[in-house]
Amino acid sequence: MGVAALEPLISNPPPNLTALSLAELSTPLPDELLAALIGTLANHPPLTSLALPSAGVGPLALFATARLLSTPPPALAHLDLSANGLTSEAVAVLGGGLSRCSSLTSLSLALNRISGAGGGVLFAAISAPAARLRRLDLSRNCFKTLPTEVAVSFASMGHLRTINLSHNRLDAAHALLLGVGHNSSLTALNLSHNLLRAQSVSKLPAMCARNVTLKELDLSFNQLSNRAAPLLLLALSRSRSLDEIQISDNFLTDDFKESVSAAAAMTPEQRRDKKYQMEVRRRLKDWRERARADDVAAAQAEVSARDDNLRGGGGGGAFRKGDRLGRIYSFGFNLLFIF
């Protein structure tokens, strides 16, 4: 589809047009032309689906899209703005329309350049009373963390079902997990292909203890080590809804991975059984003792390596590198040379 094919659509859109996709564009459109097209569609109430991936959405088209979302009566249910190079500033432009559109149920902003600040604006917009968004795709953006106000926004979202935050650079998820804990509608959360460590998911047990709707959690392809295993097991033992958790391709050793996977294979009712809860407490105690032993071993290895380095030869002067007196004299000679 090219520019020539769109000109008749702008001047005289079909009266029965309910869905428009520009996914097969050979090249991005000029911003002015795209804005004109979206402006025409704003006066076309039957439209329920608009897909503009890689369409060249710029400032003018963004403002036109915000107007489309705000134009009564609400009709648009699906909006795809993926792969347009949109930034957090672009999300701020869309925010007003998103907060007023009660018909929109699916939004894709994947493959853009949105960062944490844009995420805060976006979640605030879709937590507005009029918003009814159910599916949100934010994969392949530039999220490293999310602002603390996200936790408040999640508490107000009563319709959102799935969030995809995969393939970002998230290394902190405290606000997100706290927010999900207070959410009453979310069923699936995808955090795969990020940079999450054990410290990043420290709020996971508290989230699972409070949330009663989340069924699917994907933590695969992160940097979770054995230190995260107790958090994962504790989260599963406290959850009343979680049916599936993905932890593949992390840094968990096989024994830890098998314990967490076995817990994930059980139903929430089985995990709340008293005998299993006692087993969890025993296993957590063993893991803590093992972690302390590993810490001691690591500290001893570090001290040993440091001592070896101090004792090792290095040449390059009258004094050996590991000789403390030699280092003192060398420092003094350096001072004399400087002054």
pLDDT at 113: 97
**Res. 179 pLDDT band, cuts 50 70 90:** very high
Higher-confidence position of 62 and 334 = 62
Q: Which residues contact 186 (CB under 8 A, 6 or more apart)?
A: 154, 157, 160, 161, 162, 163, 180, 211, 213, 214
pLDDT at 312: 67
Q: Does the pLDDT at position 298 exceed 80?
A: no
Which of 23-27, 106-110, 179-183 shows the lowest per-residue confidence on average (mean pLDDT)? 23-27
**Res. 2 pLDDT band, cuts 50 70 90:** low
Closest CA to 92 of 56, 128, 69, 119: 119
Domains of the chain: 3-288 (3.80.10.10), 289-339 (no CATH)
Express each pLDDT in 106-130 by its tens digit: 999 999 999 999 999 999 999 999 9
Q: Does the pLDDT at position 221 exceed 90?
A: yes
Higher-confidence position of 291 and 81 = 81
Higher-confidence position of 186 and 287 = 186
pTM: 0.84
**Cβ atoms of 183 and 155 closer than 8 Å:** yes
Which of 218-227, 248-257, 303-312 shows the lowest per-residue confidence on average (mean pLDDT)? 303-312
Type of residue found at 145: T
pLDDT at 297: 74
**Residue tagged 């094919």 (tokens):** 5
| Mean of pLDDT over the chain | 87
Q: Does the pLDDT at position 155 exceed 60?
A: yes
Q: How far is Cα 330 from Cα 183, in angstroms, rounded to an integer? A: 63
pLDDT at 83: 96
pLDDT at 320: 45
**pLDDT-above-90 percentage for the chain:** 63
pLDDT at 305: 79
Express each pLDDT in 58-96 by its tens digit: 999 999 999 999 988 888 999 999 999 999 999 999 999
pLDDT at 328: 46
pLDDT at 321: 43
Average pLDDT over residues 273-288: 88
**Cβ atoms of 94 and 125 closer than 8 Å:** yes
Q: Does the pLDDT at position 102 exceed 90?
A: yes
pLDDT at 302: 76
Average pLDDT over residues 29-54: 89
Q: Which tokens in the block code for residue 223?
A: 């940097």
The residue count of the chain comes to 339
**Cβ atoms of 138 and 83 closer than 8 Å:** no
pLDDT at 335: 42
